[in-house]
Structure 1
Amino acid sequence: MTQLRIRTTLTLLLLMAFSTATVAQDSHCQLGIGEDEASTPSDEFELPRDGTVIHVRTDLQWAQCALGQGWSRDSCTGQAESMTWSEAQTAIDELNRTGELGGYTDWRLPTREELETIVEKCREAPAINDDIFPDTPWAGFWTSSLDTEEEGDAWFIGFYYGLTLEYSRDSSYRVRPVRYR
């Protein structure tokens, strides 16, 4: 009887240890939302501590905050700016002119495919790893990708559910700059 209790206790301890390790690895996931494992685990990112983050899997360097927000220690402060697609292009040009983000001058709007690589499929509201990209608005973020069927439309990703949609370039969405590392 004692051996059975010891075996049962050991089995429970092992299960608890395994469960804890899994939860710790995907701590930004939400139970019952989307996939069981993180699609953007934190260990795929390097944090230079200059307001940028490097996605090692894709070799892309992202602004940790949306344009309009500022990086402060471990969070994004201020309000993410909404802008039309054309205004987004101008804002990126200004960012490059000043070199204020990490000292780099080759930032751009991400392609649709690039922005999809940071959508987190195990959470929503926002559907992004908020340990890596804190204070991300749920609203849409522009891509550089244009809709070939609808003249005047561009693709954006809404970070409430992580959906990719196209809409008029005269609409207002947020911007998260990217560059190749």
Structure 2
Amino acid sequence: MKTPCFASGRCATPRVTWRRLALCCLVGLASAGSAGAACDRPQTRPDDRYMVVEGSDGAEVLDKATGLVWQRCVLGKTWDRSTNQCSGSARHVGWMVASALEADADKPVKAGEKWRLPSYIELLSLVDMSCSHPAVNSKWFPEKDIQFLWSGTTYAPLGDYAWGLKYMRGEITYDNKVEEFQVRLVRPAR
């Protein structure tokens, strides 16, 4: 299996990532809590880690720690700047369709950079271990009706399965590629 890498060029294996994630929780990166999510200690993904991508009208968010730009809303929904919420109906798709959705996505603000499914390591970078329901920084990713997000990473022992994120609990797991779930696309910032 190919080692997943962040846009910054750093690569990680699941073992290293889990250790680093556990270390972040133990160290307890300090920050004020986000409205919406239940955060019971200082956030591991604080508000100042993210910023709106210039020219995106709030629909794209840069993670300054990883160098990744995320769609603020899952596919099918659009960012409403007046309410600071995602509106519309999310698309639920199987993994094969999700893998081809890059062509259907809104064009990113930065020309030349295409949207794609994130690796499971990139999805894991969204997880705030101090929060649940959802287990992300809900100021920047306010959707509360997401159950599972597909990654672009196949589960190596079973080729008919792919990794994904249980959004409410922040757990990385895998599911059958024929199941229909939601998608949040990503692209490099540069």
TM-score strictly above 0.5: yes
Instruction: Name the structure 2 match of 1:127.
Output: 135
Asked if 1:63 corresponds to 2:71, the answer is: yes
Gaps of 5+ in 1: 1-22
Q: How well do the aligned residues superpose, as a CA RMSD in angstroms?
A: 2.1
Which residue, 11, 24, 32 being the options, matches 1:25? 32
Residue correspondences, number: 154
Q: Deviations over 1:89-111 (max 9, x none)?
A: 2222222xx62x43545110000
Gaps of 5+ in 2: 1-29
Asked if 1:108 corresponds to 2:116, the answer is: yes
| Map 1:1-181 → 2, pairs under 5 A | 25-28=32-35, 30=38, 32=40, 36-48=41-53, 49-73=57-81, 74-95=84-105, 99=107, 101-102=108-109, 104=111, 105-181=113-189
User: In the aligned structure 2, how far is the partner of 1:146 from the partner of 1:31?
Assistant: 31
TM-score (norm 2): 0.74
CA separation of 1:59 and 1:24: change in aligned 2, threshold 3 A: closer
User: In the aligned structure 1, how far is the partner of 2:98 from the partner of 2:39?
Assistant: 35
Instruction: Name the structure 2 match of 1:16.
Output: none
Q: Tell me the amino acid that sits aligned with residue 41 of structure 1.
A: P
Q: Give 1 or 2: higher helix fraction.
A: 1
Q: Deviations over 1:27-66 (max 9, x none)?
A: 346354xxx2211101001113340000000000000000
TM-score (norm 1): 0.78
